[in-house]
Structure 1
């Protein structure tokens, strides 16, 4: 395993920060590595704590009387300067349970009410989003949504269109649109599984 020789915080921002890591792997190769993180300080990094705690949630919500539609958002993202289809998502507040965060975030982004399922915790453990560049960890929360779509609870910084997609629209999106990887994998199963949540064994 590599040895970290120094760790320096380069920015002090609200939502994401950049850290410089200097280290050496077991082959003797020296690296200057840059890590983006949701952490506010280097004391909070997983490098320092060794703990994997959910920074945020990704919300896989089925919708409709027959639970045959999925809630997506089409959101503008600066890093790619265009729109991408994603699951609704957001950051957990300090000390907030991730399922509570999912209920809050779905309502804020879509106006919909979220009813989370409680599967085996294995399915909701925080997973890393893009570990080559960040220690960000996200819990996937599964459940059902109902209510009416509204954008009045979205933040001014957000440019989000709520999409309630049936299987035909999901197929089109996967063929023609930019899709976040986490959503894309689940949507592939949504296309082909009669009950998209059957794997949860609830």
Structure 2
């Protein structure tokens, strides 16, 4: 049976740290595995907490009177030295709920005001992002945005262009641009669903 035997913290950074796991595989062999985590201390790793507390939040928001545009950001990412299309997103601050974080992040990244929807827990509970390399998990908040686009709340390290994309632009983006995978799946919903957020109806 696979199990963790020892955890060593390798870095001490504010937003992301690397941990080395000493483990055994299902046949009893020795394994060394590296995990990137938002946890600042070993005790805060998902391995130890087994919690569903989200590290971050992703926001899928529609915009416009007809709610026929989706709110995207085209953001420079150092990891690929390139711009990529994503949903507004960010970390949940201490003392915040993920819905509060969603409202704050949309304001900071776009200048717009987000009105979150209340949906069944199964649609917005935290899910893991890239489990092969990190224990990070994020909640998803759905809603409608309004107001005027502004960059006044952007941090110096954030290089972001706000994009309000209709279906034709979404088709182009999916065909021609670099897109974060979670965003891409939701954009496919945006293209195909006749009723905005129709997929959020609880089953049966």
Match of 1:92 in 2: 92
Match of 1:180 in 2: 180
Q: Secondary structure at the match of 2:65?
A: coil
State the aligned residue count. 202
Q: How many angstroms apart in 1 are the aligned matches of 2:171 and 2:196?
A: 15
Structure 2: segments with no counterpart, 5+ residues: none
Q: What do the CA deviations read for 1:164-189 (whole angstroms, capped 9, x no partner)?
A: 00000000000000000000000011
Match of 2:42 in 1: 42
Structure 1: segments with no counterpart, 5+ residues: none
TM-score between both structures, scaled by the size of structure 1: 0.98
Match of 2:142 in 1: 142
Match of 1:115 in 2: 115
Q: Secondary structure at the match of 1:15?
A: coil
Deviation at 1:51, TM superposition (A): 1.3
> Are 1:20 and 2:20 an aligned pair?
yes
Q: How many angstroms apart in 2 are the aligned matches of 1:164 and 1:153?
A: 18
> Are 1:80 and 2:97 an aligned pair?
no
Match of 1:159 in 2: 159
Runs of 4+ in 1 over 3 A off after TM superposition: none
Deviation at 1:194, TM superposition (A): 1.4
Q: How many angstroms apart in 1 are the aligned matches of 2:29 and 2:194?
A: 50
Which deviates more from structure 2 when the two are superposed, residues 174-183 or residues 26-35? 26-35
Q: CA RMSD in A?
A: 1.0
Q: How many angstroms apart in 1 are the aligned matches of 2:124 and 2:104?
A: 17
Match of 2:61 in 1: 61
Q: How many angstroms apart in 2 are the aligned matches of 1:180 and 1:30?
A: 34
